[in-house]
């Protein structure tokens, strides 16, 4: 049996540019004395990201959650929004901060995204939008969602926190819907330590969101709307500019790691990789499902057992948002209305997945999962 790893192995580690380069850049920022409020680094990062992501209208924020909250606010929604229960709390919290009620839709068992075929049943006269998440970087069924939205005149918002760089048939993920949010948190493939962005379709929305993230002010003596402070600062932008330069290498390292996971895990009965990870996926997370009936051990058992070897996996996204105490009484939260979500939540496990992870470590982790399968209790 393998020994415990000397150092803890987490699901991710931040992509860190050379510290010397960051220091050089920070020296220039210090000398300029321009630290925030749409400074030159902010402008450069916005431009670099537009090019990298193939988007025309992109607005930077100090984190993904505030980007989503303000994105939703910019659409003047009311009443109910159809969304997924299988996401990080930030998605539904953004609805809460806009006084909107989430209506939870069950999942497509293949992608773990909201099942577009179940949306129409949930639409009422109060529905104003669909908020879908490209969970683990797997794209939603954007064409079907848009068709429904057009039919019922609903807005479409995408939470693409995990989908930096995801494309659908070559089209950048940020081109779909009315707006798309990206998270640039330290745990993300591309990051600015904390940060985020919104992709929108037109200049009018871009201008509105630039106002909303800066208190709604235009110039020192004009306040046009009620906004917030959600601006990205120059230090964040410096990190982002440098991280963007090394992201393609990170992606290629992750491709190699993925191929080892794929090769090994495909031989273990009861384990499946959730993400399709085609060439167009963001390579953000490596998530498996464990079917206890076939594998012989539960997801929770594996999660606990791996800790003995210093491997710390995560059960993203347990609990379901529909099981938060303040949403439990909603009709759409009832487990019988969300059978796939309630089943999957006991099976998902995020495994370590980041470029710095050695290929040998990946082999060892896969080896452990094989041994667990064949072990008798
Ligand atoms: N929508 C969705 C679907 C999201 O997943 C998220 C965020 C959002 C919206 C909101 O976007 P932001 O407002 O965050 O931009 C983490 C992240 O904080 C969060 O950004 C992310 N999703 C979520 C899925 O993961 P935690 O609490 O699970 O992270 P934490 O601190 O346990 O870190 C995970 C592992 O990463 C650690 O075990 C070790 C490693 N790590 C983490 C940090 C922070 C490091 O090695 N270094 C670090 O600095 O939420």
How is 211-245 classified by DSSP, letter by letter?
HHTBTTB-STT-B-S---B----HHHHHHHHHHHH
The answer to whether residues 217 and 231 touch, using CB atoms and an 8 Å cutoff, is no
Task: Assess whether the C-beta atom of 166 lies below 6 angstroms from ligand 1.
Answer: no
Helices 299-307 and 359-374, packing angle to 10 deg: 130
Q: Which of 61, 83, 88 to mutate to test the pocket of ligand 1 (most atoms within 8 A of CB)?
A: 88
Task: Assess whether the C-beta atom of 60 lies below 6 angstroms from ligand 1.
Answer: no
Residue with tokens 């879908």: 132
- Write out the CATH class of domain 19-242: alpha beta
pLDDT of 240 reads 98
The answer to whether residues 362 and 261 touch, using CB atoms and an 8 Å cutoff, is yes
- CA 127, 59, 209 angle in degrees (round to 5)? 50
How far is the C-alpha of 166 from the C-alpha of 204, rounded, in Å? 25
28-34 average pLDDT score: 97
Mean pLDDT of the chain: 96
Token output for 366 = 């896969």
Q: Is 19 exposed, middle or buried (0-12, 13-18, 19+ CB in 10 A)?
A: exposed
- Residue 276 pLDDT greater than 80, yes or no: no
Q: Whose CA is nearest to atom 38 of ligand 1?
A: 10
Within a 10 A sphere around the Cβ of 365, how many other Cβ atoms?
24
Q: How far is the CA of 367 from the centre of ligand 1 (A)?
A: 27
275: pLDDT confidence band, cut at 50, 70 and 90? Answer: confident
pLDDT of 74 reads 98
- Identify the H or E element spanning 42: helix 40-53
User: Which atom of ligand 1 lies closest to the CA of 316?
Assistant: 24
pLDDT of 247 reads 96
How far is the C-alpha of 146 from the C-alpha of 150, rounded, in Å? 6
User: Which atom of ligand 1 lies closest to the CA of 66?
Assistant: 13
Helices 40-53 and 234-265, packing angle to 10 deg: 30
Token output for 146 = 């848009």
- What percent of the chain is predicted at pLDDT more than 70? 98
> 247-374 — its CATH code?
3.90.1150.10
Torsion of CA 34, 35, 41, 47, to 10 degrees: -110
Q: How far is the CA of 194 from the centre of ligand 1 (A)?
A: 10
pLDDT of 85 reads 98
pLDDT tens sequence across 331-353: 999 999 999 999 999 999 999 99
Tell me the domain boundaries of the chain.
19-242, 247-374
161-185 average pLDDT score: 96
Same fold yes or no, 19-242 and 247-374: no
Do β-strands 57-61 and 101-104 pair in parallel, antiparallel, or remain unpaired? unpaired
How far is the C-alpha of 45 from the C-alpha of 4, rounded, in Å? 41
Within a 10 A sphere around the Cβ of 373, how many other Cβ atoms?
18
pLDDT of 156 reads 98
The 8-class DSSP code of residue 98 comes to T
pLDDT of 277 reads 61
Nearest to 346 by CA among 282, 309, 293: 293
Q: Is the peptide bond before 350 cis (omega within 30 degrees of 0)?
A: no
- Residue 354 pLDDT greater than 90, yes or no: yes
How far is the C-alpha of 35 from the C-alpha of 277, rounded, in Å? 38
29: pLDDT confidence band, cut at 50, 70 and 90? Answer: very high
The answer to whether residues 37 and 230 touch, using CB atoms and an 8 Å cutoff, is no
Q: How many Å is the Cα radius of gyration of the chain?
A: 21
Q: How far is the CA of 188 from the centre of ligand 1 (A)?
A: 8
Q: Whose CA is nearest to atom 23 of ligand 1?
A: 88
Task: Assess whether the C-beta atom of 191 lies below 6 angstroms from ligand 1.
Answer: no
- Residue 45 pLDDT greater than 90, yes or no: yes
Helices 19-32 and 40-53, packing angle to 10 deg: 130
Task: Assess whether the C-beta atom of 63 lies below 6 angstroms from ligand 1.
Answer: yes
């Amino acid at each position: 049996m393998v020994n415990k790893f000397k150092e803890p192995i987490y699901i991710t580690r931040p992509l860190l540019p050379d510290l010397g380069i960051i220091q050089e850049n920070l020296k220039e920022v210090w000398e300029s004395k321009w630290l925030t409020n749409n400074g030159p680094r902010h402008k450069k990062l916005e431009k670099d990201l537009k090019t990298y992501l193939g988007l025309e209208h992109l607005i930077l924020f100090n984190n993904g959650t505030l980007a989503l909250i303000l994105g939703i606010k910019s659409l003047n929604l009311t009443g109910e929004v159809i969304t997924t229960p299988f996401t990080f709390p930030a998605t539904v919290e953004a609805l809460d901060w806009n006084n909107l009620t989430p209506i939870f839709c069950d999942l497509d068992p293949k992608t773990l995204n909201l099942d577009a075929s179940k949306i129409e049943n949930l639409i009422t006269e109060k529905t104003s939008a669909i908020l879908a998440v490209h969970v683990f970087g797997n794209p939603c069924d954007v064409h079907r969602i848009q068709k429904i939205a057009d039919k019922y005149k609903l807005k479409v918002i995408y939470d693409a926190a995990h989908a930096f760089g995801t494309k659908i048939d070559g089209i950048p993920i940020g081109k779909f819907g009315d707006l798309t949010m990206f998270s640039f948190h330290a745990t993300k493939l591309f990051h600015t330590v904390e940060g985020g962005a919104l992709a929108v379709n037109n200049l009018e929305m871009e201008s509105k969101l630039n106002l909303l993230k800066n208190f709604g002010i235009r110039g020192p003596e004009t306040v046009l709307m009620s906004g917030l402070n959600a601006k990205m600062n120059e230090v964040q932008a410096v990190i982002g500019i440098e991280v963007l330069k090394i992201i393609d290498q990170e992606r290629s390292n992750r491709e190699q790691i993925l191929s080892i996971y794929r090769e090994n895990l495909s031989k273990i009965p009861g384990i499946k990789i959730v993400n399709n990870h085609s060439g167009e996926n963001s390579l953000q997370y490596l998530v498996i499902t464990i079917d206890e009936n076939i594998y012989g051990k539960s997801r929770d058992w594996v999660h606990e057992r791996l800790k003995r070897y210093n491997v710390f996996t995560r059960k993203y996204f347990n609990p379901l948002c529909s099981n938060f105490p303040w949403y439990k009484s909603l009709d759409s939260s009832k487990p019988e209305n969300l059978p796939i979500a309630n089943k999957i939540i006991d099976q998902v496990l995020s495994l370590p997945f980041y470029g710095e992870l050695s290929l040998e470590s990946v082999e060892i982790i896969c080896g452990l999962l094989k041994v667990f399968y064949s072990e008798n209790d």
